[in-house]
Structure 1
Amino acid sequence: MVFKSKLTYLLLVFVLVLSACGQNEGNSSKENSEETSSEESTENTKESAEDESSEDADFVAAYKEGKTELAKASEGEEVDYQSVIDLYNKDLQPLVAERDESIDQQITAALEAGKSGEMDGAVVKQIFDKLTQKVFYLTVKHEFDEINENWGNTEEVNSEIEEAKEYYAVLKETVEKRDAAYETTMVDQIDAGFSEIEKAVENDDKLGFQLGKQLVDKTLMKTFYLAAGAMPNGYATKAAEAAKEDAKEAKVEQAEGWAFYQSISSYLNEYAKEDASIIEENFNLENDVKNLDPEAVNHAFVRGFAKIALHEYEESEENWGEDKSTITALEGALFIDLIASDIKSMESEEDYTTLNELAQSYLEAVKADEKEQAMEDLKNLEDRLNTIIENAK
C-alpha cells in the first residue's frame, strides 16, 4: 500500500488536484549630478543582478539537496523528511509560492505525507522533483516577461537572460533524457532559441526576441509532453506496463507522469478542456493505476495540441500585418512539431513532412506579407489538423 490512511490520502489528493551660483556652475552641477546618478544606477543594477544570481543559485542548490535526500527512499534507506521540510521552507518555498501557490501546497502536503508515512517516499520524491521543475520552467517564462518589460535596458535584459539560462540548466537533464529516448534534438533547439534571444537583444530586434522565446518555451513543453504522455516512452505507458507486475512501482511512475503533466496542463485546460480531463483522470493519484490507459492519454494529448495549433493559426490570421501574426504562426508550427512523432506513427512520415512544410510555408508567407499564399496554406493546415484530431479519437 502506498497510502496508509484513507482520510489523509483523500485530503492529500484534494490538495494535489487544486492544484513583476552662475549658469555655467548650474550646468556643471546638473551634469555632475546626472553622471553620479547614472553611476549609482549602474552600480545598483550590478549589485541587484549579483544578489539575484546568488539567490537563484540558492534555489537550485536547495532543490538538488532536497532531491538527493528524498531519493534515498528508492534505495530502501531512511529519509530525513524534517530536514527536507526545513530546507524547503527556508530556501525554496519563497520562489515556489511566488510562482504558484498551489504548487507550494502540493509539495508541502507531499513532504508532510512522506514524513507521517502516509505516502510512499518514492512518490514524494517525484512530486517534489517534477513540481519544482515546473517552478523553474515558470521562472524561465517569468524572466522572458521581465526581458520584454525591460526591453532597451541592455544590462538588465542580459542579466535576465542569464537567470533564465541558469534555471534552464536544471531542466536540461530532463531534455537530454527525452532526446535520448526519442532521438530528438531539443537541446539544440533550445540552445538555438537562446542564441536568437541574445542576437535579438544585441540588434534591438524585439520580434526576434519573441520568436526565440517561443522556440525555448514550446520545446520545453514538448519535453514535458514526451516525458508524460508520448508513446512508447512516456510515463503513462511505463506506469501501465508496471501495473501488470508491480503496483508500487506503477504508482511511482503514475505520480511522475502526473507531475510532469502539471507543467503543460494549463494550456490544454484552456484550449482543449475535455482532452485535459481525460489526461488528468488517468494520472490522478486517487485512481487505481491498473486502470490507466496510455493510448487514451496519448490520443488526448495529440487532439489537445492539434487544437492549440488551430487556435494559434486563428490568432495569426486575426492579427495579420502585426508582429503577433508572425509569433502565433511560429507557435502553430511548434505545436505541430510537438506531436511530430505521433503524426508519423498514426499516419506516416510523408504526412508529417507535408504538414511541416505547410507550416513553414505559412510562416514565411506571413513574414513576407504574402496574404494570398498564406491563406491557401492556412486552409490546408486547418484541414490537415482537423483530420489529425479525428484520427486521434
Structure 2
Amino acid sequence: MFLKNKLFYLLLAVGFVLSACGQDEENASGEETKKDESEKAEDSTKGEKEEAEKDEEEDASFVEAYKEGKSELAKAGEGKEVDFQKVIDLYNNNLKSLVAKRDGKIDQQISTALDAGKSGEMDAQVVKQIFDKLSQKVFYLTIKHEFQEISENWGDQELAKEEIAEAKEFYEVLEGTVKKRDAAYGTSMVDQIQAGFNEIEKAVKNDDKLSFQLGKQIVDKTLMKTFYLAAGAMPHGYASKAAKEAKEDPSHAKVEQAEGWAFYQSLTGYLTEYAKEDAAIIKKNFDLETNVKELDPEAVNNAFVRGFSKVALHEYEESEEYWGENKSAITAIEGALFIDMISSDIKRIQGEEAAKTLKEQAQSYLDAVKADEKDKAMPILEEIETTLQSIIEKAK
C-alpha cells in the first residue's frame, strides 16, 4: 500500500609581530585586542540570537504547514474536493525536510499516501489520517530529539532553554490528542506532561541531570500512553472503533483502522524489540491490507498489554543490572511508566486493589533505587516482576 540524513595561524602570526614591538605599541594593541574581543563577543551573541530566531521560524513553518495540510485534507470528511497538489506542495516545501531528518520511512509513507490520494488510488480520508498521525509522530520524535540535544550539551543553560521552548512548541500540536484521551478515559496526562516539563526546567536550572532524565521520561512515556489509548486500548481505541463500525460502515471503519495504524507507528520501537510476536499481531490487525471486518480488537488489546508488560520487565532487569548508576533510577521510572500505560487494563485483569498495589510497589522501588537501598528494593522488585508475569499469562 505504501510502495509507489588558517585563521588561527594568521592570528598567531600577528601575535608574534606585536610581541616584538615597543611597550607603547603593546599597550595600544592590548586596548585594540580588548575591543576586538568585545566586538567578537557581541557578534557571537548576535549570531546565536539570529540562529535561535531562525530555528523558531522554521519550527513555526513546520507546524503551520502541518495545520494547513490537515485542514485541506479534512475537506474529504465534509464531502468536498481536496486539493491534493496544494497539500503535496505544502509538504514538500515546508514539512518534508523535518520528516526526512527524523525518519526517512515516514517521509516515504506520507509522500506515497499523498500521491495515492491525488491519483484516486487511496481514499482521501485515509490519506488525511496517515498525514495527520504520522506528522504527529514526527513532532513526538522531534521533542525527543530536543531532549537529547540538552543531554548531550548538559551545562549549556541557554541552549537548554531554547531546546525546551522548541519541544513545547511541538508539544502544543500534540496536546489536543492528549486532551481527547484524557476526556475519553478520565486520565490526567496533560497534567502529567506539564509536571514533566516543570521537572525538566527545574533540573536544568539546578544542574541536576538525573532529575532532567526522570522528567524527560515522564513526558516521553506519557505521550506514548496517549498513542496507546488512541490505538489499542478498550473501549475507545481505534481498534475497537473500527471493529464496531465495520459491521455498519466498512468504508468509515477503514478510516478508523488507518488512524489506529498511524498512531501505532509511534509505539513500534519498544514492542518490536522486546515483544516481537505481540507487535506482529498488532501490525497485522492494523495493516491496511487487512480486511477491517477481520480486525480483532481484543487480540490487539491483549497484545499491547503483554507487550508493554514485557517492556516493563526489561526496564526492571536493566535497573537491577545498573544498580548504583543513574541508569538504574532512569530505567526504574521507565518500568513504572510502562505499567502506568496499561493501568486500566491491569485493573480489569488483576482487579483494582492489585493494580493499586502494583503502582505503589513501582513507586517504592523507584524511591529505594534513588536512596541506594538495595536490600529494601530487591524484595519489592521480585513482587513487581511476579505480578507482571501474571498479567502476561492472563492477557493471552
| Aligned counterpart for 2:67 among listed residues 64, 67, 71 | 64
CA–CA distance in 2 between the matches of 1:313 and 1:34? 52
**One-letter code aligned to 2:384:** L
Q: Is 1:54 matched with 2:48?
A: no
Once the two structures are TM-superposed, the CA of residue 40 in structure 1 deviates from its matched residue by: 2.3
User: Following the alignment from structure 1 to structure 2, what is the Cα–Cα distance between the partners of residues 24 and 190?
Assistant: 57
For the 8 Å contact 1:45–1:156, the answer to whether it is kept is no
Gaps of 5+ in 1: 1-11
Q: TM-score scaled to structure 1, two decimals? A: 0.94
In structure 2, do the counterparts of structure 1 residues 284 and 30 end up closer, same or farther at CA, with 3 Å as the change threshold?
A: same
**Mapping for residues 1-393 of structure 1, pairs under 5 Å:** 12-14=1-3, 21=21, 22=23, 24-25=27-28, 27-393=30-396
Which gives a bigger RCO, structure 1 or 2 (Cα 8 Å, sep 6+)? 1
Q: Quote the Cα distance in structure 1 between the aligned partners of 2:69 and 2:297.
A: 30
Amino acid at match of 1:95: L
Cα shift readout 1:348-369 (whole Å, capped 9, x = no counterpart)? 1101100001101100000000
Q: Is the radius of gyration larger for structure 1 or structure 2?
A: 2
Give the Cα separation in 2 of the matches to 1:74 and 1:150.
45
Identity of counterpart residues, as a percentage? 68
CA contact (8 A) 1:13 1:286 kept: no
Unaligned runs of 5+ in 2: 6-20
| Structure 2 partner of 1:8 | none
TM normalised by structure 2 equals 0.93
Q: Distance in 1 between matches of 2:148 and 2:63?
A: 21
Report the CA distance between 1:149 and its aligned residue: 1.6
| Partner secondary structure for residue 94 of structure 1 | helix
Task: Give the Å deviation of 1:157.
Answer: 1.1
Helix, strand or coil at the partner of 2:247 = coil
Cα deviation per residue 1:87-113 (whole Å; 9 max; x = unaligned)?
110011111111101101100111111
* Distance apart, 1:43 and its partner CA: 1.8
Q: 1:273 is aligned with what amino acid? A: K
Query: C-alpha root-mean-square deviation of aligned residues, in Å?
Result: 1.3
Q: Residue 193 of structure 1 contacts residue 215 of structure 1 at CA under 8 Å; is this kept in 2?
A: yes
Q: Distance in 2 between matches of 1:121 and 1:113?
A: 9
Instruction: State the Cα deviation string for residues 65-90 of structure 1 (Å, max 9, x = none).
Output: 00000000111100000111111100
Distance 1:222 1:380 in 2: 24
Structure 1 residue 142: Cα displacement = 0.5
Indicate if the aligned counterparts of 1:326 and 1:366 stay in contact, CA closer than 8 A.
Answer: yes
- Match of 1:77, SS state, is coil
- How many angstroms apart in 1 are the aligned matches of 2:34 and 2:225? 52
**1:111-168: per-residue Cα shift (whole Å, max 9, x none)?**
1111111111110000000000000000000100111122211111100100000000
